[in-house]
C-alpha cells in the first residue's frame, strides 16, 4: 500500500460526481490541493480541462471500470451518487453497488484515503432542534439516507479490515446562501465545504471518522465532533441571512416542518415499479 496522503502529500486525487452540483463547486479549488485531479462522471464536464485535470468518465455500477479508474489514485473525494430522494430501485445500483465497487477498488489499488459524501439525511427523522452527535443512532428520513448509512458502514468495514481510511461527511445544505429557515441550522458554504474536504484529505491518521459538514451556524443542530481532529475551522455562518429567510418555512405540522430532514420528508412513498 502507499503511504497516507497526509504524510506523502497529495499527488493524484479522484473526484467522482465531478459534473454534479457539489462536484462543480469543488473542482477548481480542489485542483489547487493536488498535482493531478482526475474528474469522473457519466455526464459531460463544464468548460475546458486545465493542465492538471483529466476527464475519465466511469459508470460506478461497472466494477471492472471502477477498478481501472482507481489505479494510481492516492485519495478519492466520492460524490458520485443518485443524490435526491427517489424510489429505491433508482438509486440502489449507484449508491449501494457503486460505493462497494469504489471501496473494493481502493483496497486493490492501495488507495489509502476516501472522503465519502454522506448526508444529514442519515439522521433526518430526529426532531428539529434536537442536538446530535455522530455517535447518536441513525434515523434515516428516506431511501437516500439509508444508502448513505450503508456507505458509512462500508467505510467502517474497509478501515477495520483493510486499512482504507475514510472521512464520512454528513453534508448539510450546500448552496451559495441558505434558502429557508431550516438551513439556518444545516447550511454549509461552498468555501467551508472545500476547506473541510481539503482538511479531510490531509489530516493524519483519521481512521474512519464521521462528522457533520456545516458552517459555523449558531442555530446548528449538530456537534462539531471531529472538526478539531481534522483541523477544520469554518469561516462562514448562516446567521446573516436570518431576516431574509425568516418566513420561508415548511407547512405547519408537516413532517418537513417537524423533523430535521426537511423537504426529503415530503417525497414518497412511491408506487411499485410497473
Q: Would you name the residues annotated as active-site residues?
A: 144
C-alpha span between 123 and 209 (Å, rounded): 16
Residue 120's φ and ψ, nearest 5 degrees, are: -65, -15
10 Å CB burial of residue 142 (0-12, 13-18, 19+) is buried
By the 8 A CB rule, do 229 and 203 touch? yes
Q: Which long-range contacts (CB under 8 A, 24 or more apart) does 229-234 make?
A: 229/203, 230/167, 230/196, 230/199, 230/200, 230/203, 230/206, 231/199, 231/202, 231/203, 232/195, 232/196, 232/199, 232/200, 233/195, 234/188, 234/189, 234/192, 234/195, 234/196
Block residue for cell numbers 462562514? 236
Here the cell at position 53 is 485535470
Amino acid at each position: 500500500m502507499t503511504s497516507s496522503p497526509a504524510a506523502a502529500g497529495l499527488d493524484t486525487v479522484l473526484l467522482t460526481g465531478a459534473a454534479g452540483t457539489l462536484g462543480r463547486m469543488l473542482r477548481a479549488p480542489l485542483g489547487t490541493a493536488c498535482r493531478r485531479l482526475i474528474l469522473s462522471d457519466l455526464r459531460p464536464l463544464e468548460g475546458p480541462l486545465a493542465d492538471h485535470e483529466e476527464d475519465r468518465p466511469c459508470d460506478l455500477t461497472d466494477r471492472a471500470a471502477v477498478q481501472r479508474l482507481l489505479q494510481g489514485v492516492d485519495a478519492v473525494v466520492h460524490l458520485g451518487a443518485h443524490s435526491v430522494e427517489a424510489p429505491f430501485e433508482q438509486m440502489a445500483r449507484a449508491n449501494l453497488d457503486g460505493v462497494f465497487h469504489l471501496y473494493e477498488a481502493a483496497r486493490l489499488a492501495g488507495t489509502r484515503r476516501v472522503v465519502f459524501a454522506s448526508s444529514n439525511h442519515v439522521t433526518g427523522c430526529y426532531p428539529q432542534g434536537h442536538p446530535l452527535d455522530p455517535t447518536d443512532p441513525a434515523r434515516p428520513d428516506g431511501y437516500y439516507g439509508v444508502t448513505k448509512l450503508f456507505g458509512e458502514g462500508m467505510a467502517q468495514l474497509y478501515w477495520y479490515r483493510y486499512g482504507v481510511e475514510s472521512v464520512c461527511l454528513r453534508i448539510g445544505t450546500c448552496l451559495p446562501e441558505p434558502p429557508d429557515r431550516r438551513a439556518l441550522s444545516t447550511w454549509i458554504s461552498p468555501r467551508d465545504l472545500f476547506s473541510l474536504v481539503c482538511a479531510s484529505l490531509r489530516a493524519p491518521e483519521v481512521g474512519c471518522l464521521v462528522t457533520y459538514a456545516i458552517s459555523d451556524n449558531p442555530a446548528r443542530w449538530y456537534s462539531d465532533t471531529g472538526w478539531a481532529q481534522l483541523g477544520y475551522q469554518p469561516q462562514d455562518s448562516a446567521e446573516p441571512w436570518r431576516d431574509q429567510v425568516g418566513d420561508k418555512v415548511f407547512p405547519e405540522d408537516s413532517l418537513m416542518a417537524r423533523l430535521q430532514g426537511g423537504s426529503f420528508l415530503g417525497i414518497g412513498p412511491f408506487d411499485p415499479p410497473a
